[in-house]
Amino acid sequence: MIQCIRPPVQPDFLPRSDSPVQQARRRVEDAIQAGQKPIFRNLWKKCKHVFARNQHYKCGYCESIVLATDFGDIDHFAPKGEVHELNAPGREADHMSKVVGRSCAIVSDRGYWWLAYDWNNYIFSCKLCNTAWKLSLFPVRESPRQIPPDPAVTETRLLLNPFEDAPVLHFEFSEFGQIRGKTDKGRATVAVCGLDRLSLFRKRREKAQLVFGLLKEMLVLANRDDEPMLIKKIYEMGKQENEHAGMVRSIIANELGLDWDLIEEYLRISGYPNLGTHP
Ligand SMILES: [Zn+2]
């Protein structure tokens, strides 16, 4: 996971417009007031391309490039229809994408309905993160939590949001690409989104090995003049648009204690112009 900047709100999603989105929002509010289960019209699909482009076509959770193999989804960060809790995280089935050994329980048949058409509740994601792993899970620190969720009650979410958090600080990675949460939020996000699933670990492995290899090279450098060249190689792997760039940045933060901004600054000082913008 890597920090992203949320795209500007599209006009249809502005609260004062009379767009189909706002009409759908009002129908949900009417259903809630009448004590009925709301029906959500999928109008968020209209903004999928906006979020996809903004996130460099990468899943907001696992950071895989989505569009080559998957239509991709708009995920509701806070689930709109129901709330589930995770009792056992489970794992990826052998040689399959499905999840086995996972135990979830429904804790509310009403979700964060008022966020169904809220621009700030959307994240472009791959289908597996959305519909096989994250589902309607939304862990919060409060125990017991508010059931059903109430717009008047503030909660402390435990799931990392790439638009609102600095995810690189919440994870650490092994030399082979295995992920581990360093904080409560990091651990909850790994468990809920299945970021430690075998297929992702395999996908991250080569890049993780390259980064750790470059860091080892730096330690034994005979000529310090070569250091900027090695840092530049790491920087290229951690560019925002690249798969698992967040992992590269986490490794740098954990191993060197360096913020990505400082890497850019170091390279500028070393004579590498036009490095792009952060994040
Ligand atoms: Zn994903």
DSSP secondary structure string, 163-206? TTS-GGGGEEE-TT--EEESSHHHHHHHHHHTTT-HHHHHHHHH
Tell me how far the alpha carbon of residue 130 lies from the centroid of ligand 1, in angstroms.
Answer: 7
Q: How far is the CA of 127 from the centre of ligand 1 (A)?
A: 7
- 245-256 vs 227-237: helix crossing angle, rounded to 10: 140
Instruction: For the chain, list residues with pLDDT below 70.
Output: 273-279
- pLDDT value of position 277: 53
Cα–Cα distance measured from residue 254 to residue 169, given in angstroms and rounded to the nearest whole number? 8
Cα of 152 vs centre of ligand 1, distance in Å, is 31
Q: What is the pLDDT of residue 279?
A: 52
- Rounded distance from Cα 241 to ligand 1 centre (Å): 15
The pLDDT value given to residue 57: 97
* pLDDT at residue number 99: 97
The one-letter amino acid code at 63 reads E
